[in-house]
Structure 1
Amino acid sequence: MRRWLALLAAATTSLVLFALLVPLLLLVRTAAESGAVARASGEAESMAVAVGTAGAAGTVDAETLHLTAERAAHPTTVFLGDGRVLGARAERSAAVELAARGRSVTAAVPGGREILVAVQGAPGGTAVVRVLLRDDELTGGVARVQAGLLVLGLALVGLGMLVADRLARAMTRPVSSLAGVSHRLAAGDLAARAVPGGPPEVRAVGLALNHLAERITGLLAEERENAADLSHRLRTPLTGLRLEAESLSDPDEAARVEARVDALERAVTAVIEEARRRSRDRAECDAVAVVGDRVAFWSVLAEDQGRTVELDLCPGPRTVAVSAGDLAACVDALLGNVFAHTDEETPFGVRLAPAPGGALLTVDDAGPGFGTADPLGRGESGAGSTGLGLDIARRTAESSGGALGLGASPAGGARVTLFLAGSGPLAGS
């Protein structure tokens, strides 16, 4: 914006100066020519007076007139009526003949201009005084004056651009500040606020942005409280479910159900903590430990369903920029999809491998593959589920600075690949 305003000021100033300087340059040239002609005419008149005085005395001192003509500032020639020519050598042109008839004229000749003054009453008839004004004398000093005017014009254009840049800076600085605040808000810094400044319109935008930030903060706080309240209300049926599990007669079945209840309670607790967390701090965890723990948890159910589990973990620790709770929820969502969308006895595999800048988590199965054209669409599922599992995995990967990819497994089923950006000294190892 500053550049455009500076260019606009330069264009406007240039047009104004062009409209002023062009007539002024022509006026300077005309004035210089007029001054030169006036000075030459004055010399011709002085010489004409001398010739006329000599004629009034009845005799013409040719030697004196010749010396006087030669000492003149401009080449001066006297054409006497008797045909003699005194002073500088010059041809008797048609303009001289016209002046000999008693009419003073100015005529253009090659290389300059001649000033012709008729002198009546000279011996032998009308005499003519000719003064030659060369072209360089007509424009003497004009080039310097014109150069000075052009330099002045350029200086004024530069000054106009400088003033425009200062004004533009006063307008763009608060706008840039508003853009910075909006980027901070988009990055999750809800405490970012603008300092209104600049023109009234820009101040109004700053106040509106602050009002919007306050409104967003209030809505998010309300949403957190609602999520926390909803999660908290789930604890009552969880408590009843735990009591029911404890009353089971089969100890193994009771232990398995209690383990499921414990996992569900941990998930509810994580939801409450996440809902009450005011800012998403950049956490980290050991991906090897978390993935191994969650696969071990799901292996119990896999054994009951006759599923073969293939686990391949890289040597740990492998630190990634995701909290342990978020990564555990992500693995649970992916393995939950495997159990929900494939038949029993369908094998699956989990692999955690090192990658430049982080770790690569891959979950394969031998099922029918993805059941929808857009598996990542939030709330979309081809098997009647909530359709949130892959979205949870995607958001977990992106929160670390990574990404999620989908494809087909070697067995023809679904393959989900997550790149988890690393954190700490082992990130890029």
Structure 2
Amino acid sequence: MRRRLINSTLAVVLVVIAVFGVSLVIVETRTISNSAHERVDSEAVRLVSIVNSRLLTDQQITSDILKGQVAERYAVIDIPGRHPIEVGTRPSGDVIRADAKGDRGEIVTVEEPQSTVTEEVGRTLLIIGAVAALAVAAAVLLAVRQANRLTSPLTDLAETAERLGSGDPRPRYKRYSVPELDRVADVLDGSAERIARMLTAERRLAADASHQLRTPLTALSMRLEEITVTEDLDTVKEEATIALTQVERLTDVVERLLTNSRDPRTGSAVAFDLDEVIKQQIEEWRPAYRSAGRAIINSGKQHLRAVGTPGAVAQVLAALIENSLMHGGGTVALRTRVTGNQAVIEVTDQGPGVPADLGARIFERTISGRNSTGIGLAVARDLAEADGGRLEMLQPKPPVFGLFLSRTPLRRPSGEPGAEHTVR
């Protein structure tokens, strides 16, 4: 493209120079030729007036006297009754000739070599050629500069598009002061930002799925192991029932991840019994704590009802219980209480607590006190907020995390699916 731009610009300049240059040469040649004839005519008229004035005053007319009146030209003065007087050297070849007649019948002929016109035309053509050469050189420089100005942005845009295709969605925010190219750059940067958001969402979904599916799969595995080592039919039925509950929870996790239905406005938030969710989580995690030589207990106010998604609340409690199992120590206690119009579930243990350098950053993604993923508490807080609640660290040492859930359903317009009455 760069070469085509240079060639096209140069071709236009050459055409313009050819058209106007030929016209200028023709006009200048004619002008120089006409000017030469006018000079010779003027010289003949001037010389005949000099001869005429000398004849009137009976002054002598000789070649030596008239020689100073003729500059680099050849002149012949023909006076009736006298020999012709020649002034200068007669030119050879083509000449420009002019005749003038005086009042006493004298005739003056002035001749000038045609070569003087040719030389002047040659000098003019040389000047025109030099100007044309300068114009061509300037055109080439401008064409190269303009081509670079256009091709360099296109190269940058091509590199940006290639980076997008190779999975690097970073926008460049580079502009070129060319509206059309800037428009293309805007579109590519917008696409890069959208692709970056999509990739971030996909990576976050994958991380959340990995973290949220790990706990129910681990619990399900433990139940299946219990079934394989027992021969008591009642124990098998009990463990199978718990395993089915784990499968249902696993299915709920998968559906929530795929449909992204974490917004309570979708109608998934309902009034439910907190005791059932807490009991289910304690039963699920008790084998893991027993294996670690630790205990998990429940205390506080009983028969509380809250508004939210039972599966999401279970996942939040599972994240807190797992966090205590991995990073805490001693007995883990789940305490329930009421504050205002909110039901609160506190999860605490007897471990060293949250390091001071983490503080409130404990809920940020990739923040972890040990070699863990660092997304468990972040996902738990997102789940709590999606149900209209909140998850907070109430105390760093010993660690106390509180899950706050509303006891009153969200107000919805009359007739909207999911509208409920106040829970008392």
Same fold (TM over 0.5): no
Pair member with larger Rg: 2
Superposition TM-score, scaled by structure 2 size: 0.44
Superposition TM-score, scaled by structure 1 size: 0.43
